[in-house]
Amino acid sequence: MGINLSLAYEEFAKMNRNIKKNIFFIFSFSQLSFANERFIPIELWLGIPSTGSNELKFYDVNNKQHGGKLKVTGPIDWKNEVTGKTIKVYERKRGSKVQLFTITNNGQCLGRVWDSRKRKRGVVVAIDNGCKFPLGIWKEGETRDFFSAYNWPKKKSGGSSTSKRTGMKKTLTVKKLGDEKKCLTFRWQLTVIGGKRSGKVIDDNDYTYCPNKGFTKLVSRK
């Protein structure tokens, strides 16, 4: 029985077209995955031009953000009263409120280490593993949880001093990844760990940061 060369050629051509389609699909998919991932630089939080480097460094800054409401300066040296260590931090002021930030969680975040606002337990002495801004490699739609400890001032009880530590979970979700020209938007949630309010979300905000501007927009759900 002879081989119909015409039919064989048509089948081969059909297979070749399908292979090309599959290759194109795989290439497009890989390109999409790559495009949906980026290195978020610390310069974006600082509101300064990006260096294009995928390294996290403490660049000098002295500017105003969020329509002039926030002033960001640094880096400066700050001593952690709990650990006794001195680290580099940035200072962010809004009116009388002062917050100190540093690189945390193995380069995944910029987080607070201190906050001047007075709570029921007083003014926090130090915050461990804070996370307030995503740094490094993130994907659009990605969610990560970070666990922080808040160290509060010692209280005297029966002649002895006791210190209190409370736990918090910070959840960050990247909503719009942005790029060198477009803004980054992420959701930040604060959840209580331990005690009567354990599991309760007490803060739920969307933050937007734009290249060369820093913090530009806040949408609060709480």
Summary mean pLDDT of the chain: 85
Residue 1, pLDDT > 80, answer no
The reported pTM is: 0.81
Does 90 reside within a domain? Answer: yes
How many structural domains are present in the chain?
A: 1
Residue 119, pLDDT > 50, answer yes
DSSP 10: H
Q: Which domain holds residue 140?
A: 39-220
Cα gap 217→157, rounded to integer Å: 44
Burial class (CB in 10 A: 0-12, 13-18, 19+), 138: buried
Does 12 reside within a domain? Answer: no
Does 27 reside within a domain? Answer: no
Does 3 reside within a domain? Answer: no
Residue 43, pLDDT > 80, answer yes
- Work out whether strand 61-65 and strand 37-40 pair parallel, antiparallel, or are unpaired: unpaired
Say what percent of the chain tops pLDDT 90: 73
CB 100 within 8 A of CB 108: no
